[in-house]
Amino acid sequence: MLIRILGAAAGGGFPQWNCSCRNCADVRAGKPGFRARTQCSLAVSANGSDWVLLNTAPDLRQQINETPELGARADGGLRNSPVKAAVLTGGDVDFIAGLLNLRELQPFSVYGSARVLATLADNSVFNVLDSSVVPRRELPLGTATPIEGGGRDTGLVVEAFAVPGKIALYLESGASSDNYGSREGDAIGLKVSAPASGKSFFYVPGCAVVDPELAARLKGAALVFFDGTLYTDEEMIRQGLMQKTGQRMGHISISGPEGSIDALAPLGVKRKIYVHINNSNPVLDENSPERRATEAAGWEVGLDGMEIRL
């Protein structure tokens, strides 16, 4: 199985268009130790020729153009694409807006939870993806589902599972006691497997808490991509960027007693990589103490273009 990080940043990207926080200013200035990142997406292939996207970021056009394996082949006919399916883990703008780049009558499949598919159905702009060419398929929670599209069985199987999290920001309604209208299926994690090789990994780009159920799932995994939005829960408030904690946004922090470093430490995961990293996060500075602490704890900080072979 081949996995490529297309984008490792959270919503807004790095740098974010309207942000001059320290990280954004430094990466814009080309300061050593800072590398730009696009918004959160992975590409996976079991056979090296058919690819499945995990989330479709607003930057998808750029991501595809920077990834030769994902471009149309010179010998594949006038219109062709190795992208056979897109699997969505939530309705956030940074997860779904890239679908709009995939118009042009190219056959592939879109997979999502019933909740995410309902969001696509409610927003008629997504009808630019003609459903007779781009079928939308429900990814039932807790069931291993073979991923097919464009007339191909990709050789990948995906199991979606609910994780603690939150509905997309623009869909929030009601009170905090109701988690702003969040329901099961609004935030999901994926177990992606290639039955032919017996390999599998987890992709959890948005998660509020590692509860015992999630910990049990991840135990002993070969590879986990995990929500690395913030280093500390109040970092956006402290930097004067926004009056919201990570918890309010549905994102666990990297550090601290409730953070993901501590939560995953006892689980024996062989390789751990942060993705969906917000531009406020000090781990984006390769020379920061926070970056050193994160790497010393056995984690990698995701970077666009990173390729992993399982």
Q: Among residue numbers 24 through 43, which ones bind Zn ion (CB under 5 A)?
A: 24
Which stretch in 20-28, 83-91, 133-141, 220-228 sits in contact with Zn ion by CB under 5 A?
A: 20-28
The structure tokens 């599209």 sit at: 149
d(CA 163, CA 285): 29
Which stretch in 63-71, 87-95, 98-106, 266-274 sits in contact with ligand MLT by CB under 6 A?
A: 87-95
The structure tokens 């008629």 sit at: 124
Among 50, 59, 94, 285, the residue binding Mn ion under the rule CB under 5 A is 94
Smallest separation (angstroms) from ligand MLT to the CB of 41: 13
Which stretch in 5-13, 42-50, 124-132, 250-258 sits in contact with Mn ion by CB under 5 A?
A: 5-13
Q: Exposed (0-12), middle (13-18) or buried (19+): which is 166, by Cβ within 10 Å?
A: buried
Q: Among residue numbers 261 through 280, which ones bind Zn ion (CB under 5 A)?
A: 279
The reply on whether position 250 binds Mn ion by CB under 5 A is no
Query: Which C-beta is closer to Zn ion: that of 11 or that of 155?
Result: 11
Please say whether the beta carbons of 284 and 264 come within 8 A: no
**Could you please report the per-residue DSSP string of 297-309?**
TTEEE--TT-EEE
The reply on whether position 249 binds ligand MLT by CB under 6 A is yes
Torsion over CA: 271, 277, 279, 280 (sign): negative
The reply on whether position 94 binds ligand MLT by CB under 6 A is yes
The reply on whether position 237 binds ligand MLT by CB under 6 A is no
- Pick from Mn ion, Zn ion, ligand MLT, none: which does 249 bind, CB < 5 to 8 A by kind? ligand MLT
The reply on whether position 169 binds ligand MLT by CB under 6 A is yes
DSSP state of 95: H
- Pick from ligand MLT, Zn ion, Mn ion, none: which does 279 bind, CB < 5 to 8 A by kind? Zn ion
Query: Which C-beta is closer to Zn ion: that of 196 or that of 242?
Result: 242
Q: How far is CA 205 from CA 42, 202, 218, in A?
A: 10, 10, 14
d(CA 209, CA 99): 28
Torsion over CA: 57, 61, 66, 71 (sign): positive
d(CA 257, CA 244): 20
The structure tokens 């990280």 sit at: 23
Return residues touching Mn ion (CB under 5 A). Answer: 10-11, 92, 94
Return residues touching Zn ion (CB under 5 A). Answer: 16, 19, 21, 24, 279
Return residues touching ligand MLT (CB under 6 A). Answer: 10-11, 92-94, 169, 206, 249-250
